[in-house]
Copies of this chain bind each other. A is one copy, B any other.
Amino acid sequence: MQRVKMSDVARAAGVSTMTVSRALRQDGRIAPETRRRIQRLVRELGYVPDRIAASFSSRRSGFVGVLVPSLNNTHFAETAAGLQNALQPDGLHMLLGHTNYLKAQSEQLVETMLERRPEAMIVTFDDHTPRTRRLLVEAGIPVIEIWEVPPKPIGHVVGFSNRAAAAAMTRHLIELGRKKIGFIGEAQDIGTRGAQRRLGFLDAVRGAALDDTRLVATSRPPIGMLQGREAMATLMRQWPDTDAVLCVSDPCAFGAVSACQIARIAVPDRVAIAGFGNFEISQCAVPAISTISVSGLTIGAEAAGLVRRLLKGDREMSSLPPQTILVDASVLARGSTVRPGKCAEKLTARPAAQEHG
């Protein structure tokens, strides 16, 4: 019981394999009548094209490699979802890997993914090892970094400045009259987006000549609700007069809010709390949590759109220069910082596209 192959279909149809090959693709130069006959036989014989052989022959894998730190994080899960949605119409499959925020894991995934000859690589910004970087550069395919605008991009970029966004949110707290502002972040986060957010926080508090020492970082990334809750308890123990806290992410902020609920600290009256990322939880929490609105779906879709343009350009031998696509990341003021009634303000960073490099 052998697998049906293209030559079987060809024989049954009384044509050559090339004709079958053409019939199964969007190749126009084939008689509609012939195509119909072949399509019928494909169905009857249960022929399933062998894309490995096709990839081998055409030297086009139909893959896009995608690296995210974690799938547990809604942001990256959404990014992956947005990517698949936008890649599918082009017949591209996603080769997805998650690194668990581990550089060694990241390096190994890049290495094994490249063996499958992806047509493009999409990697979440992080401090890559030199080898990871070299492998990506030498692969000779489009590389897109997402979720940050790196100081020294490998290739293309779809993201926003985590630092600037965190600074904007911190200024939001300052403008509300808060003076003793803390930051809850992640430990051992060198080169990560979380570290950028902390820098943005520091930019803003220092810019306003406020105390810049109220930093808590208890666990390694990713930190979630429970870590946020614990960190908030720690923060309030160490600096009881804290009147506002920026958290590295919404789940973390929700944990901080729940710590306040338990300790009967009024939010936002006594302490204002802000998150980052506009996760579902920030919208549905009571009070709703002020956050930076960014959409993983959008980042995924934009990255996929860029891939599409780059691959099309490639065939026309006119590959684009490195692109940077900025996505929106703006302050969403909600009940955890602003009492209902007061006008919620909204600082917006406009999306834009530009060239660099």
Q: Is the CB of A72 within 8 A of B72?
A: no
* CB nearest neighbor in B for A49: B115
Q: Separation in Å of the A82 CB from the closest CB of chain B?
A: 10
Q: Is the CB of A258 within 8 A of B284?
A: yes
In the complex formed, the residue of B with least CB distance to A46 is B138
Q: How far is the CB of A204 from chain B (nearest CB, A)?
A: 28
A331 at interface (Cβ–Cβ under 8 A)? no
A95 at the interface (CB under 8 A from B): yes
A115 touching B284, Cβ below 8 Å: no
Partner of A112, one of B93, B96, B224: B93
Binary flags per residue of A47-72, CB closer than 8 Å to B gives 1, else 0: 01111110110000100000000111
Which listed residue, B71, B139, B261, B283, touches A71 by the CB 8 Å rule?
B71
Nearest-Cβ distance from residue A135 to partner chain B, whole angstroms: 8
Question: Is A106 interfacial (CB 8 A cutoff)?
Answer: no
Task: With both chains docked as a complex, state the minimum distance between the C-beta of A340 and any C-beta of chain B, in angstroms.
Answer: 12
Within 8 A of B (CB), among A91-147: 91, 93-98, 111-117, 135, 138-139
Contacts of A285 in B (CB 8 A): 258
CB <8 Å contact, A280 and B71: no
The chain B residue with its CB closest to the CB of A54 is: B115
Is A255 part of the binding interface, using a Cβ–Cβ cutoff of 8 Å? yes
Q: For the complex, give the distance between the alpha carbons of A270 and B283 in Å.
A: 25
| Bound-state Cα–Cα, A53 to B71, Å | 30
Say yes or no: A72-B61 contact (C-beta < 8 A), given A84-B98, A226-B280, A286-B261: no
Nearest CB on B from A47, distance (A): 10
Contacts A117-B50, A261-B286 given; does A71 touch B77 at CB 8 Å: yes
Contact A226–B284 (Cβ < 8 Å) = yes
Partner of A284, one of B74, B80, B229: B229
Contact B56 A53 (CB under 8 A): yes
Whether B77 and A117, one on each chain, are in contact in the complex, defined by CB atoms closer than 8 angstroms, is no
Q: How far is it, in angstroms, between the C-alpha of A265 and the C-alpha of B281 when the chains are bound?
A: 20
- A199, CB-defined interface residue at 8 Å: no
CA distance in complex: A56, B59 (Å)? 12
Q: Which of A211-233 contact B (CB under 8 A)?
A: 224-226, 229
A349 at interface, CB cutoff 8 A: no
A48 touches B114 (CB 8 A): yes
Interface check A154, CB cutoff 8 A: no
Within 8 A of B (CB), among A127-186: 135, 138-139
Contacts of A84 in B (CB 8 A): 96-98
Q: Is B51's CB under 8 angstroms from A224's CB?
A: no
* CB <8 Å contact, B94 and A254: no
Bits for A284-295, please: 1 = Cβ < 8 Å to B, else 0. Answer: 111000000000
Which A residues are closer than 8 A to B by beta carbons?
Answer: 46, 48-53, 55-56, 61, 70-72, 74, 77-78, 80-81, 84, 91, 93-98, 111-117, 135, 138-139, 224-226, 229, 251, 254-255, 258, 261-262, 280-281, 283-286
Given contacts A70-B81, A226-B280, 10 further A-B contacts (CB under 8 A): A46-B138, A48-B135, A52-B52, A56-B56, A71-B81, A72-B78, A80-B96, A84-B98, A93-B95, A258-B284
For the complex of A and B, list the 9 residue pairs with the smallest distance between their C-beta atoms, beginning with the closest.
A225-B284, A51-B115, A71-B77, A56-B56, A77-B77, A71-B81, A96-B96, A261-B286, A51-B116
